[in-house]
A and B are shown apart, each in its own frame.
Chain A
């Protein structure tokens, strides 16, 4: 693929992600509230969000927090939760192959569930401008860090307990993005295998990331097996 990296592509990505930003807010606020509850200062909460930039894993890490911080335990938890992003960056390889230097390494930093799904749909539509991903990622990164910081500031004021319907916004976003990844009836079998494996692995008592890794690898292997046999 003849990959470009232009300002126009960046702006296109930014325009696409802006309407989505409000849906990240509840999750960011909750992470900020939890960070305050674990005794992190506002600066620490902001630095964590800016450097890690992966909400679910931050949530899990804060659940294992303590004083002194169990560094190895939280690092392992974060790595395990974020392992699902390895196949994401691999799937975006056609764009990354055309990049080098800071463009490549910075773009890789901005791979998230959302930017990944939007980028894959865009890539399949023939988009060749890899700056699109950075255009999605950079506003998301700023907004995420701002929301967590705000959550920390408001920790005494807002009441967002786990299970609050607003927190469903994150999952609802992923559900809607899933629709954009559907390519037709050929996806039915691999997605079915992925669903079955993920639920089965969860049913035997293994938490994330094992369901997502089993489902992602099993489902795509089933799809690959069918495609190569034909």
Chain B
């Protein structure tokens, strides 16, 4: 149960950097009224962040990842059950990895 000073310093700096990123986006809006274009962008931001965050990882994982991701998306579209969709996505990847190692 040690806590070394250099590790603690790194953790504190990481925590501050993360909080700055988390809170920063809103803190700017708290003090600055954005132009209409930026407000219109914020409406589209949620979906676009997710698309742009997911796709590069899926592409790196190759066709098995793409197929498993498609299974998770399709399951969610059809059932709207989050846990089931996650399980089916993981199961699909497991099957594909086992069938084509």
Contact = CB atoms under 8 A, between A and B. Distances in A.
Interface residues of B, number: 70
B1 A93 contact: no
Chain A facing B: main interface SS: helix
B45 A174 contact: no
Contacts of B17: 75-76, 78-79, 82
A220 B48 contact: yes
Given A89-B25, A168-B65, A169-B86, A215 B42 contact: no
Given A20-B83, A57-B14, A47 B1 contact: no
A36 interface: no
Contacts of B4: 41, 44
Contacts of B52: 194-195, 197-198, 211-216, 219
B37 to A, nearest CB: 5
Interface string B51-77: 111111111110001001100110111
A71 B16 CA distance: 12
B98 to A, nearest CB: 9
A116 to B, nearest CB: 7
B47 A90 contact: no
A88 B86 contact: no
Chain B facing A: main interface SS: helix
Given A51-B11, A75-B10, A177-B82, A84 B49 contact: yes
B48 A223 contact: yes
Contacts of B85: 172, 175-176, 179
B55 A177 contact: no
A43 B48 contact: no
B18 A108 contact: no
B26 A96 contact: yes
A85 B1 contact: no
Given A19-B83, A75-B10, A228-B36, A168 B93 contact: yes
Interface of A: 19-20, 22-23, 40-44, 47-48, 51-54, 57-58, 61, 67-69, 71-72, 74-76, 78-79, 82-93, 96-97, 105, 108-109, 111, 113, 116-117, 120, 165-166, 168-169, 171-183, 187, 190-191, 193-195, 197-199, 202, 208, 211-225, 227-228
17 contacts: A41-B3, A44-B8, A51-B15, A67-B6, A75-B17, A78-B17, A91-B45, A165-B93, A166-B90, A168-B90, A171-B57, A172-B89, A176-B86, A176-B89, A177-B50, A212-B53, A228-B37
Interface of B: 1-4, 6-26, 28-30, 36-38, 40-61, 65, 68-69, 72-73, 75-77, 82-83, 85-86, 89-90, 93-94, 97
